[in-house]
Amino acid sequence: MLYQPELIGGHVALDLLNTVSWRLEPSRTVDRIASPEALATWCAAVGLSGDGEPDGVAAVRAVVYDVVLPIARGTGPGDLRELQSLLASALGRAKPAGLRPLDWVGASLVDELVLAAGRLLEREDLSRLRECQDDGCGWLFLDRSKNGSRRWCSSGDCGNRARAKRHYERVRAGREV
């Protein structure tokens, strides 16, 4: 089956984190960019060059996840030292892409992803960063809804499962809908 990336994060750095499906259920966890072909497919979907090693991308993904997840859970950023080191290295190799606003193009796919993580933390309203409320999902997204009430990565996937579960529990309890 051909991998079709789901880009629901609202930012390329979050979409990178969401390449791990069912992160919170270790028996179901799937790395969606573990092969060079899958990584190239994901890169094409987000508009990046697919020239990169899955292991290097996975390492960046792990560092960014450790920083961003605590923000989504409302406990502040995780340890920034490793990301800071990656950002300094990536910026050292980057070329300016524009001056207003100042933006950089990374020298490699890994650098591009590190710079994207920096832009997420620098430019986005992190009070809108959310973790899907499905017990096993673990995907992250920017809640751009007007009232800030988005609960699931996808209303048609995790949201639908949650509604079906609530319905099943009501029926099972004898309270027919």
Task: State which H helix or E strand residue 164 sits in.
Answer: helix 160-172
Please count the CA atoms within 13 angstroms of the CA of 141 that sit on its side-chain side.
21
The domain that contains 106 carries what CATH number?
Answer: 1.10.3300.10
Tell whether 1 is covered by a domain.
no
pTM of the model: 0.88
Closest CA to 54 of 67, 41, 69: 41
Domain extent, residue 30, equals 12-172
* Collapsed DSSP state (helix, strand, coil) of residue 61: helix
Task: Give me the residue label for tokens 């990178």.
Answer: 16
Q: Are 131 and 104 in contact (CB under 8 A)?
A: no
Number of independent structural domains in the chain: 1
Tell whether 7 is covered by a domain.
no
Tell whether 177 is covered by a domain.
no
Tell whether 18 is covered by a domain.
yes
Tell whether 123 is covered by a domain.
yes
User: pLDDT tens digits, residue range 28-82?
Assistant: 999 999 999 999 999 999 999 878 899 999 999 999 999 999 999 999 999 999 9
Tell whether 68 is covered by a domain.
yes
Q: How far apart are CA 164 and CA 171, in angstroms?
A: 10
Q: What's the average model confidence in pLDDT over 75-99?
A: 93
